[in-house]
Amino acid sequence: MRPLPARPTRIILTGFMGAGKTTVGALLARRLAWTFLDSDRIVEERAASTIAAIFERQGEAAFRHLEAAAVRDACRQDQLVLALGGGALELPSTRDFLAALSATLIVFLEAPLETMVARCTAHADAPVRPVLADRPGLAERWNRRLPGYRQAHLTIETAELTPDAVVLRILETLDPLLRAEPGSNGRSLFDSSGKRGLLA
């Protein structure tokens, strides 16, 4: 893990599929009154196609380059919570770009592989995930991506936590960083009871 950034204006959630990035990201952005974006959704909107179709027609390498452009464009704005696709960090240029960003807190949402796969397959209306079709290769993908995930500033084990509890862990880390921000008057994100105060 790297040292925490001072006064972050962006939070980027990384992790394997099923880690909870989209669910947690949307909740976190709502609590902060920031913008929430999902890199997968950006790619799909730009391509007017599903990720599964992009994989099938153009291949994974083409998808990764579309994803990299989406991440770069999204990170131009502040007060942003961005959920990365599970394989976004496989592209060296994306890893280098994120590592060089200032005022950005990168959070790795971790869980056992079996837990994440179960989450992905638990809902009938879940999006089609092309890599799930290659079950033997999932563990290899997870292990290949893990070193990149572990470069995050903060790691949270999500297996035993609800999405709200994960958000609370992130806010507890974020609170002292934002209190140091000019104009914050040292105000906490929490009231004296430990519940959400200013941004409730």
Residue 190 has pLDDT above 60, yes or no: yes
CATH fold of 10-179: Rossmann fold (3.40.50)
Residue 129 has pLDDT above 70, yes or no: no
- Of the candidates 121, 161, 145, which has an alpha carbon nearest to the alpha carbon of residue 27? 161
Q: What tens digit of pLDDT does each residue of 72-97 get?
A: 999 999 999 999 999 999 999 999 99
Q: How far apart are CA 74 and CA 78, in angstroms?
A: 9
Give the number of other CB atoms < 10 A from CB of residue 53: 14
State residue 124's pLDDT score. Answer: 56
Please give the average per-residue pLDDT across 9-21, as a whole number: 94
Q: What tens digit of pLDDT does each residue of 147-180 get?
A: 999 999 999 999 999 999 999 999 999 988 887 6
Q: Which of the 8 DSSP states describes residue 196?
A: B
